Chain A
Amino acid sequence: METPLTLRVDGEDRMLTVDTRTTILDALRDRLGIMAAKKGCDHGQCGACTVLLDGRRALTCLLLAVAHEGAHILTAAGLAEDDHLHPMQQAFLDHDGLQCGYCTPGQICSAVAMLDEFAAGHPSAVTCGQDGPTELTTEEIRERMSGNLCRCGAYDGIVAAVRQVAAR
């Protein structure tokens, strides 16, 4: 069931032909050689494959490529501009927000989108009263980042990195 498809990945149109069974994650890694999105659990449980899909964070392991013709995908590799790291990437370095680094691209994409959600006034499970959240507390960051697991346990550094960018 081969289907032709165009995906805009990190600012570049990429044309490919995929079997209907291909996830965006597999299309990125196996077909386009874009390795920033990682395959962790492949079942939507770990967050390592997180990218920004049309501006919102999403798990690429659960998305069928054929269902996303024309989608704009931004991976962690596409966040940097020329030689300048994205502030979130720099913050992860500044605060040791990683050890092995496997979950890091997903963490960074998730954190970037999460700050956008927070800025847009989206509630979370820890502050879901009528009024939007006003302060990005540690509890808020942990809740909003709970879809990204880090088996090295670099969570304290990750929270510190997110706080640094949020404070800008």
Chain B
Amino acid sequence: MIPFHYTRAVDARSAVETVAGRPGAAFLSGGTNLVDHMKLGLATPDLLVDVSRLPLDTVEIAEDGRVHIGATVRNSDAAAHPLIRERYPALSSALLSGASGQIRNLATVGGNLLQRTRCVYFQDLTTPCNKRSPGAGCAAIGGYTRDHAILGTSTQCIATHPSDMAVALAAFDAELVVLGVDGERRVGLNQLYRSPGTSPHRDTILEHGELITGVELPEIAVARHSTYRKVRDRASYAFALVSVAAALAIEDGLITEARVALGGVAHRPWRAHTLEGALRGRPASEETYRRAAVAELTEAHVRPGNAFKIPLVTNTLVAVLRQLAKERL
């Protein structure tokens, strides 16, 4: 680890000014990803601005029914909060599907959103990686691809975004409150993450020095009946091969509303708009689910190491939708 300075932020605005004004500075919150990356030599900040104790650690509901989750709320506290469990069970479930009890106690909501890919090549400084060093090449393409993306990939990067929480937030159209030197702005969760394209080194659209101060969830009736299913290589404490966050509303046997996002398949949480469109107005049946899943994956680009994700995503989607429909009928 290279030497660095450490300072504890007194307020969000000055923290933003400090980091924005220094190219080598980085925000530190739970540190569960950043400190590991500093040990690996992947991240080399010369100044850490610790925002973990800023008073952004509450979950609150506004008069209009929006739920605001502060950026420094710990993952375990967000998952256990009554408002989240009652109104967005898929979010609670997604949070609890990630990492371990110890890590969830440290990791914050803001940090969870900005964690970086677990692509083995990204984390291995001895292999080429366009995300780590732009233009270096991609060792994953033609290499080990079991954990890699099948949707929205580019010729430069096939990494996946590792967050479970973000998949649920994508399904619910969460908005981020972002503070920059020029003030506050709002960024939709589904606009936060980039496709890799020709600049995979940029995970998100945030500028250096911008700080996520909170996450806001709109009031969504159907979200109260949502679920999250994660498929992985061991029963717990592993990243997703594939995951699904979904909510479904059914009236008179017809699907009236569907919200579905996928994890483990793309550089970003993948909101399944094509699938949602193919579900809406159709009978809640196995055939509908399967057709919709197939439609979503039309553009998928698989490799020998991850071709299994096509049937895995399809079957997981069908299973989740069947379960939700059973609960709603």
Residues of A with Cβ closer than 8 Å to B? 1, 3, 19-21, 23, 42-44, 47, 50, 53, 56-59, 62-64, 66-67, 110, 113-114, 117, 120-125, 128-130, 142-148
A-B contact pairs, 29 of them (CB 8 A): A1-B6, A19-B3, A20-B4, A20-B48, A21-B1, A21-B3, A23-B35, A42-B39, A43-B36, A44-B103, A47-B100, A56-B105, A57-B101, A59-B103, A64-B35, A110-B101, A114-B101, A117-B76, A122-B80, A123-B79, A123-B85, A124-B96, A129-B89, A130-B89, A143-B235, A145-B101, A146-B100, A146-B101, A146-B236
What is the bound-complex CA distance between A106 and B83, given in angstroms? 32
Chain A CB count within 10 A is highest, among B1, B50, B52, B96, for B96
Query: Is the beta-carbon distance between B100 and A63 smaller than 8 angstroms?
Result: no
What is the bound-complex CA distance between A20 and B2, given in angstroms? 10
B237 within 8 A of A: yes
Query: Is the beta-carbon distance between B4 and A110 smaller than 8 angstroms?
Result: no
Interface size on B, residues (CB 8 A): 37
- Say which residue of A44, A57, A123, A147 sits within 8 Å of B92 (CB atoms): A123
Contacts of A146 in B (CB 8 A): 100-101, 235-237
Query: Is the beta-carbon distance between B102 and A59 smaller than 8 angstroms?
Result: yes
What is the bound-complex CA distance between A89 and B137, given in angstroms? 51
Query: Is the beta-carbon distance between A62 and B106 smaller than 8 angstroms?
Result: yes
Task: Given A1-B4, A67-B28, check contact A57 B105 (CB 8 Å).
Answer: yes
Contacts of B102 in A (CB 8 A): 47, 50, 57-59, 110, 147
Query: Is the beta-carbon distance between B101 and A67 smaller than 8 angstroms?
Result: no
What is the bound-complex CA distance between A63 and B31, given in angstroms? 7
Total inter-chain residue pairs, C-beta < 8 Å: 109
Contacts of A117 in B (CB 8 A): 76, 101
Contacts of B4 in A (CB 8 A): 1, 20-21
Interface of B is mostly: helix
What is the bound-complex CA distance between A23 and B35, given in angstroms? 9
Task: Given A67-B28, A147-B101, check contact A128 B96 (CB 8 Å).
Answer: yes
- Say which residue of A120, A123, A125, A128 sits within 8 Å of B236 (CB atoms): A125
Across the interface, name the chain A residue whose C-beta is closest to B8.
A67
What string of 1s and 0s marks CB contacts (under 8 Å) between B234-266 and chain A? Answer: 011100000000000000000000000000000
What is the bound-complex CA distance between A113 and B105, given in angstroms? 11
What string of 1s and 0s marks CB contacts (under 8 Å) between B47-67 and chain A? Answer: 010101000000000000000
Contacts of B31 in A (CB 8 A): 62-64, 67
Contacts of B76 in A (CB 8 A): 117, 122
Contacts of A124 in B (CB 8 A): 96
Contacts of B79 in A (CB 8 A): 122-123, 128
Contacts of B100 in A (CB 8 A): 47, 146-148
B18 within 8 A of A: no
Contacts of B326 in A (CB 8 A): none
Contacts of A20 in B (CB 8 A): 3-6, 48
Query: Is the beta-carbon distance between B80 and A63 smaller than 8 angstroms?
Result: no
New A-B pairs, 18, CB < 8 Å, besides A59-B103, A63-B35, A144-B101: A1-B3, A1-B5, A1-B6, A43-B36, A43-B40, A44-B103, A57-B105, A58-B106, A59-B102, A64-B31, A64-B35, A67-B50, A110-B101, A120-B80, A123-B96, A128-B93, A142-B236, A146-B236
Query: Is the beta-carbon distance between B39 and A147 smaller than 8 angstroms?
Result: no
